[in-house]
Chain A
Amino acid sequence: MSSHTGKHESWGSRLGVIMAVAGSAVGLGNFLRFPGQAAQYGGGAFMLAYAISFLIIGLPIGWAEWTMGRAMGQRGLHSAPGMFAHVTRVSWGKYLGIMGIIIPVVIYMYYVGIESWCLGYAVNFLRGGLHLGTAADSGAYFSSFVGMGEDGGAMRFSPDSMLPWLLVVFVVNFFFIYRGITKGIETVCNWGMPALVILAGIVLVRVLTLGTPDPAQPDNNVSNGLGYMWNPAKVVVERLDGGTWKTERQVVGDPMIARAKSEIAGDATRRVREISVLEQLMRPQVWLAAAGQIFFSLSVGFGVILCYASYLKARDDVVLSGLSASSANEFCEVGLGGLITLPAGVAFLGLAGVAGQGTFGLGFNVLPLVFNKMPAGWLFGAFFFFMLFLAAVTSSLSMLQPGIAFLEEALGVGRKASVAILGAITAFGTGFIAWFSKDLKALDTLDFWIGTFLIFVLATVQIIVFGWVWGTDRGFREMQHGAAVRVPGIFRIIIKFVCPVFLLFVFVMWVVVNVFGINLAGGAAEVSSYVKDLFVKPDKIAWLSVSFVVVFAIFLALLIARARVYRHSEFNRE
Chain B
Amino acid sequence: MTTGGIVIMILSVGTVTTLFGWCIWKVLTTPSETEKVHGPGLQHTPDMDNKE
Contact = CB atoms under 8 A, between A and B. Distances in A.
A324 B23 contact: yes
B45 interface: no
A83 interface: no
Interface in B1-29: 1-2, 4-6, 8-9, 12-13, 15-17, 19-20, 23-24, 26-28
B17 A335 contact: yes
A408 interface: no
Nearest to B26: A320
A227 B6 CA distance: 8
A149 interface: no
Contact of B23 (A51, A316, A320): A320
Nearest to B8: A44
B33 A47 contact: no
Contacts of A231: 1-2, 4-5, 8
B34 A320 contact: no
Given A43-B8, A44-B8, A324-B27, A233 B2 contact: yes
Contacts of B33: 315-317, 482, 484
A71 B17 CA distance: 31
B50 interface: no
B16 A334 contact: yes
Given A324-B24, A327-B23, A331-B20, A223 B1 contact: yes
A67 interface: no
A330 interface: yes
B37 interface: yes
B43 interface: no
B34 to A, nearest CB: 5
Interface residues of B, number: 25
A482 B33 CA distance: 6
B37 A315 contact: yes
B34 A226 contact: no
Contacts of B12: 47, 230, 334, 338
Given A330-B16, A484-B30, A484-B33, A44 B4 contact: yes
A553 interface: no
Contacts of A18: 27
A123 interface: no
Interface in A29-51: 43-44, 47, 51
Contacts of A258: none
A507 B1 CA distance: 34
B17 A230 contact: no
B25 to A, nearest CB: 10
B5 A334 contact: no
B28 A15 contact: yes
A246 B24 CA distance: 46
Contact count band on A:
35 or more
Contacts of B37: 315
B16 A327 contact: yes
Given A14-B32, A320-B23, A320-B30, A226 B1 contact: yes
A191 B34 CA distance: 24
A372 interface: no
A331 B17 contact: yes
A227 to B, nearest CB: 4
A323 B2 CA distance: 32
B13 A47 contact: no
A339 interface: yes
A507 B21 CA distance: 33
A230 B37 CA distance: 48
Given A316-B34, A334-B13, A227 B24 contact: no
B13 A313 contact: no
A340 to B, nearest CB: 12
Contacts of B26: 320, 324, 484-485
B27 A14 contact: yes
Interface of A: 14-15, 18, 43-44, 47, 51, 223-224, 226-227, 229-233, 252-253, 313, 315-317, 320-321, 323-324, 327-328, 330-331, 333-335, 338-339, 482, 484-485
Interface of B: 1-2, 4-6, 8-9, 12-13, 15-17, 19-20, 23-24, 26-28, 30, 32-34, 36-37
Given A233-B4, A317-B33, 8 more contacts: A230-B8, A231-B8, A232-B4, A316-B33, A321-B27, A328-B23, A330-B16, A339-B9
